[in-house]
Amino acid sequence: MTAKFKEAIRLYNTKRWSSALQAFLEADVSTFTTEEKTELAYYMGLCYTKLERYKEAIVYMEQAVTGDPGALRLCQCRLTLAYVYMMTRRSRMAEFELEHLIKTGFKSVQIYTMLGYVAWMQKDVERSVSMYESALDIDPNSASAMNGLGFVLVESGIDVNRGLDLCKRAVEKRPQSAAYLDSLGWAYYKAGEVSEARQILRRALDIAPRQKDISLHMKALLDEAS
């Protein structure tokens, strides 16, 4: 591994995504082994993902997956691919990657939580609940699983009270998460507690003023109150 490649990895590890990507792009791949080319593709895929340049991320992560990166790195590649597919609304492809991981023995809170979200994207409420429940079976204190399941239970009307409780617990663990605050605010709204809903959604907007879902939830609340 060249010194420049090591420096690019260091930049990535210090969260300087743009600088790391530029360094990776400047790497002289003519001197790389097959293993190093696979690692380069992996890191470039990660950089593009962090920069929300998902089209490029897919190209490099797919290269990394087919480059035989080793079991643990392959799991990381497939998880990243699934995330990028989710962000680009390719739910079936995300589902394929996640189900493949489960079939090959990888089972985690993250995988089941992502499957819960994918099922929700596909409007399969029953499966979404089942996947989130599986995540909580692994870790009952997972904030992401509690938030996901709570929102689904509230939005679908299956169990608003339990959903509200789960969203509260998620926010207790991650009080500065705009997404979790949004779910909690919406849960309060669905439970008929409009004053609490307005207060929580305002906190979410203060943290993430450009987040579309939060703005839509606040608008729905204000429209009903007017």
In this structure, the number of other CB atoms found within 10 A of the CB of residue 89 comes to 9
The architecture in CATH of the region 1-93 reads: Alpha Horseshoe (1.25)
Cα–Cα distance measured from residue 137 to residue 134, given in angstroms and rounded to the nearest whole number: 5
Identify which of 192, 145, 193 has the alpha carbon closest to the alpha carbon of residue 169. 145
Tracing tokens 């010194």 back to the chain, one arrives at 3
Q: Is the pTM of this model over 0.85?
A: yes
Residue 42 gets the label, from left (phi > 0), alpha (psi -120 to 50) or beta, of alpha
pLDDT at 133: 98
Going by C-alpha positions, the residue among 62, 89, 83 that lies closest to residue 74 is 62
The residue extents of the domains of the chain are 1-93
pLDDT in tens, the chain (226 residues): 678 888 999 999 999 999 999 999 988 888 888 888 999 999 999 999 999 999 999 999 999 988 776 777 888 899 999 999 999 999 999 999 999 999 988 889 999 999 999 999 999 999 999 999 999 999 999 999 999 999 999 999 999 999 999 999 999 999 999 999 999 999 999 999 999 999 999 999 999 999 999 999 999 888 876 6
In the 8-state DSSP scheme, what is residue 158? S
pLDDT of residue 111: 96
Closest by CA position to 81, among listed 102, 105, 98, 67: 98
pLDDT the model gives residue 222 = 86
Any residues with CB less than 8 A from the CB of 126 and at least 6 apart, and which?
A: none
